[in-house]
Structure 1
Amino acid sequence: MHTAGIIAGMEEPGTRVPVTHEHCDHVTGPFFHGTRTAFAVGDELAPGHGSTFQEGRVSNNVYFTAVLETAVWGAELATALAGDEERGHVYVVEPLGSFEDDPNVTDKRFPGNPTQSYRTRSPLRVVGEVDDWEGHAPEVLQGMLDSLARLREQGLDVIED
C-alpha cells in the first residue's frame, strides 16, 4: 500500500474542518469511486443498492474519495469480496449534491480524514474511468481481506450508514 500520500495528507491536530452537508463546497476533486460494477460515462451511482461490505444490507449512501489509492482499494475489495475474478473499475465521479466525511474511516484509524473519503445520499455522476490504476500485490490484498474477516468475527465491522 502506498501510505506516503495518506500520511502526507494528515493535518496538524485541531486544524481540520470537518466536511458536513452544510460545509462541503471547499472540498474539490477530482473524486473517485472504486467498484466491481461496470458503468458508462454519464451513468449515475445512487444509494439504495446492496453494500459491498455487509451481505444483505442496503446502503443509504454512495461512497467516494479524493484519493485514487482509496478508490483502488474499493475496486479490489469489491471484486474480491464478491468472489469475482475480473478486475474492478475506478471511476472519476462528480457529486450531484452535498456530502460529508465518511464516518466509517474519519478519526477511526488516523486523525482527521487522510483518505479523503466521503459519502452522499445524492447520486454521483460518472465522468470518466481510470484505466491505468495499479492494484496491490496479492499478499497485500489478502492481508486486508484477512483484517476485514477478523473485524467481522469480532463484531467490529460496524458500518455507520
Structure 2
Amino acid sequence: MNPFVQSALAGCVATLPMSVWMLGAQHWLLPRRERYPLPPEQITEHAAEAVGLDTVAENDTVLKAATVVNHFAYGAAVGALYAPLRDLPGPPVVKGIGLGIVVWTGSYLGMLPATGLLSSATHHPARRNALMIVAHFIWGGVTGVLAERSLKRS
C-alpha cells in the first residue's frame, strides 16, 4: 500500500485517542467558563455557515455528526504528511509528535485564522491551548507509531 495512504489511515485512527483526551480534558481539567465547544466543533460550525449550510450549524445533532466526520477526515489528511518523515532518523513517536506540533502551529496560528474559521490561538485561554497542544502530541505520536508499523508490514 502507498505510504501516504498508510500514513493517512494512521492519522485517522490516531484521531480517536486525541478526541478522547480532548473531551475528557475539557470536562475534567477546564474551569466551567472554558468548557464551551472545542475547536473541531467551532471550525465545523463556522465552515457550515461560510458555505450556507445553516441547517448544519443550527442543528446540534447534525453539527456534532459533521464535527466527527470533519475531525477524522482532517486527521487522515494531515496524517498523510507523516509519510516523508518515515525515512528520517529517530523513533516514530518523536517524529510523530514533531508533526503534531507542526500541524497545531500551522492550523491554530496560520491556516484557521487566515480562513476565518477560528481565531488565532493567541486569543484563546492558555488552558484550552495546552489541552489542544497535548491533543496534537497524542495524535502525532500515535500517528507515527501506527504509520511505521503499517509501513514495516508492507
More strand by share: 1
More helix by share: 2
Q: TM-score, normalized by length of structure 2?
A: 0.27
Answer 1 or 2: higher relative contact order, Cα 8 Å, separation at least 6.
2
Q: TM-score, normalized by length of structure 1?
A: 0.26
